[in-house]
Amino acid sequence: MEKKTIQVALLGLGTVGTGVYKVLQNQREEMLSKLGAEVEIKKILVRNLEKAAKKVEDDAVLTNRWEDIVHDDDISIVIEVMGGMEPARTYIMEALAAGKHVVTANKDLIAVDGKELLDMAGTHHSDLLFEAAVAGGIPIIRPLKQCLAGNHITEVMGIINGTTNFILTKMTEEGMEFEEALALATELGYAEADPTADIEGYDAGRKLAIMASIAFNSRVTFDDVYTEGIAKITAKDIKYAREMGCDIKLLGVARNTDTGIEVRVHPMLIPSAHPLASVKDAFNAVFVHGDAVGDTMFYGSGAGEMPTASAIVGDVFDIARNIRYQCSGRISCTCYKELPIKQIGDIRSRYFLRMQVDDKPGVLASVASVLANNSVSIAQVIQKAKSSEAAEIVVITDSVEERHFNDSLAIFQGMSVIRKISSVIRVYGE
């Protein structure tokens, strides 16, 4: 097979784009040896040519005109690392329509418009790969699509946001409160200036929608995912969890059940012996259960310049190999089913409920009665006396539909003997 040069264009030269540029430049000889073809960056689309010139070896590759890329027939692969919905969506659609292959790390776009983009790729026999859109440097998209294709996957669960995992790790190991841990995460560069997408679970929700769609072969969008963040978690909650042999993690949970797909992101108490409990700081991990393979876990750096660049360049390599062997467009959209999405009220969970109550006889019996009347059974109760004639109780429930548990909470909020509902956190397990 004769030597060939495969030319690529890079859209964006921010943190991730710079990482991709470095890896492609540093790995040129290695990729030539593996592929029998050179991967060459022909164009880089940037806003500020002068600023970008300081980051590249030859500023002749820089352009601020999309037309220089989309109308260049020599460019085979477009790498989108701009982020955001627009103009990224338009550029990707136009690139695919022009018969180019696309690699993207854009989880926001894939979580919302992934099916349309994959359908466009399929129509034009192009590849659209997005390994870096979920969990950074951890390979999870390709395993779900290909390596585990012989399985009926019933569960994907993981820690898929490094910012919140860093915060919860500091709260657990150093006794910090949420705001203090968030400030440290911001100082160290783990949290954005506006951390809302991370701490409210939106970032993890987008990643979960992508993984669930692939794992269950049925379209799941970000709007389908129930999200709840970690801002209400306190050091006291974590202390109770530790006393119970548990850790609190922000988990993305996707399950394929007989009655539909569960997709939710929220804090959860998990046993300290569970593999996910050992995932610390900004690391990510994804736990997958398949009927043939059983339990598997993928672990590593979930974000950052070089881990994300690693995943992107891996996709570039795959596409370049497909071009060399003339087998592009083999795997497009795999969402051939239309499974219903379960509402959060229909999902069964166990619960950790912490309340401040009057310290007098009969209160605990009243709490138990309300729960029982709403089909909620109690697995464990912890009661600690406090000052000012108040006591703190913690109730751990057995598995129950969320709507029934919420009915109990509504009644508690109207009871004079209950001074405050301090925390409600789901608990792992049936």
Tell me the CATH number at 196.
3.30.360.10
- Has residue 372 been placed in a domain? yes
Q: Does residue 37 share a domain with residue 153?
A: no
Q: Is pLDDT at 2 greater than 70 in this prediction? A: no
Residue found by looking up tokens 């997958």 in the block: 288
- Has residue 82 been placed in a domain? yes
Question: How many other CB atoms sit within 10 Å of the CB of residue 407?
Answer: 18
Taking residues 183-200, what's their average pLDDT?
93
354-374: pLDDT as tens digits: 999 998 889 999 999 999 999
Q: How confident is the model at residue 107 (pLDDT cuts 50, 70, 90)?
A: very high
Q: Does residue 40 share a domain with residue 159?
A: no
Burial of 162 (0-12, 13-18, 19+ CB in 10 A): buried
Q: Does residue 152 share a domain with residue 128?
A: no
Local structure of residue 263 (DSSP, 8 states): E
Q: Does residue 295 share a domain with residue 180?
A: yes
Q: Does residue 128 share a domain with residue 167?
A: no
- What angle is formed at CA 200 by the lines to CA 197 and CA 204, rounded to 5 degrees? 65
- Has residue 339 been placed in a domain? no
3-class secondary structure, 78: strand
* CA distance readout (Å), 363 to 194, 353, 372, 407, 414: 42, 15, 14, 18, 14
Local structure of residue 193 (DSSP, 8 states): S
- Has residue 415 been placed in a domain? yes
Pairing of strands 283-290, 294-301: antiparallel
Q: Is pLDDT at 332 greater than 80 in this prediction? A: no
Q: Does residue 218 share a domain with residue 99?
A: no
Could you give the number of structural domains in the chain? 3
The CATH number assigned to the domain holding 56 equals 3.40.50.720
Residue 207 annotated in active site: yes
Q: How confident is the model at residue 1 (pLDDT cuts 50, 70, 90)?
A: very low
* 411: nearest Cα among 371, 361, 365, 360: 371
Q: How much is the pLDDT for 397?
A: 97
Q: Does residue 218 share a domain with residue 111?
A: no
Q: Does residue 417 share a domain with residue 285?
A: no
- Mean pLDDT (the chain, rounded): 93
Q: Is pLDDT at 170 greater than 70 in this prediction? A: yes
Of 207, 236, 249, 386, which residue is the catalytic one? Answer: 207
Q: Does residue 158 share a domain with residue 88?
A: no
Q: How much is the pLDDT for 191?
A: 87
Q: Does residue 397 share a domain with residue 250?
A: no
17-48: pLDDT as tens digits: 999 999 999 999 998 899 888 999 999 999 99
3-class secondary structure, 118: helix
Q: Does residue 145 share a domain with residue 260?
A: yes
- Has residue 238 been placed in a domain? yes
Range of the domain at 110: 4-136+305-324
Question: Domain ends where: 271, 292, 324?
Answer: 324
The CATH number assigned to the domain holding 397 equals 3.30.70.260
